[in-house]
Structure 1
């Protein structure tokens, strides 16, 4: 059964800098995801991660447990899973979006003055995922 699993989390400040953390997360995710037929997108801004993962439910549940235990993440909030016929992010083992302008506009239209994915309702999460899918990097 294919699902979409999305979550938001706060980045835990550590000795490593942000670019090193992002590089490590992306390289590890891309290799692991390619081996396990997982697809998705990662966005980071203002101390907050948002990640959308698509794949088989059992594999994603195990991966999500690893994320919960990852010391780089705190205050992890999982959104409702969506069942999929096929993955939407199948072009990417892990797409990274860095278009702050479009994301800022999206959140401003919702009345939020900064990137706050934890404030999104389920419909808004799906709208946000659609935006991330459309953004070309």
Structure 2
């Protein structure tokens, strides 16, 4: 059974671009091993991440994140079983939105996803759109 978890958190420290790249590389490496897709966004000291994949792998990954010292004030905003992945085809699964062009690419992808008219997908899309709205 597939599952998605979306969470937001505060960074425990002011993250440099190099630190963010290391976090991204580690997340991508770990999630590829477990066939977890999704998106990771860092903005103004906050993270938003969507994880999707096998229920057991997503739950285990989220539990590890909860105890990661780089995060504080973690709030799980979505925790649902899903029939299909939302971010499976997006930029090899994970991305950090750090420029207007990347925001525009993500925004175009989210618009395309909305056409599916899936309630859970639209809920996740709305969370991501709200989180990144100040970038554009």
TM-score, structure 1 as length reference: 0.69
Task: State the SS of the aligned residue for 2:49.
Answer: strand
Match of 1:65 in 2: 63
* Residue-by-residue CA offset, 1:56-94 (whole Å, 9 max, x unaligned): 111111111111111100000001312211111112231
Q: Is the 8 A contact 1:41 1:97 kept in 2?
A: no
Q: Is the 8 A contact 1:44 1:50 kept in 2?
A: yes
- Structure 1 stretches of 4+ with a deviation exceeding 2 A read 95-103, 123-126, 128-132
Match of 2:82 in 1: 84
For residues 131 and 89 of structure 1, the distance between their equivalents in structure 2, rounded to whole angstroms, comes to: 17
For residues 100 and 128 of structure 1, the distance between their equivalents in structure 2, rounded to whole angstroms, comes to: 18
Per-residue deviation, 1:99: 4.5
Relative to structure 1, is the Cα distance of residues 73 and 13 closer, same or farther in structure 2, using a 3 angstrom cutoff? same
Q: Is the 8 A contact 2:5 2:77 kept in 1?
A: yes
For residues 86 and 99 of structure 2, the distance between their equivalents in structure 1, rounded to whole angstroms, comes to: 19
For residues 79 and 18 of structure 1, the distance between their equivalents in structure 2, rounded to whole angstroms, comes to: 26
Structure 1: gaps (5+ residues):
104-122, 133-137
Task: State the SS of the aligned residue for 1:49.
Answer: strand
For residues 36 and 4 of structure 1, the distance between their equivalents in structure 2, rounded to whole angstroms, comes to: 14
Per-residue deviation, 1:20: 2.6
- Output the aligned Cα RMSD: 2.8
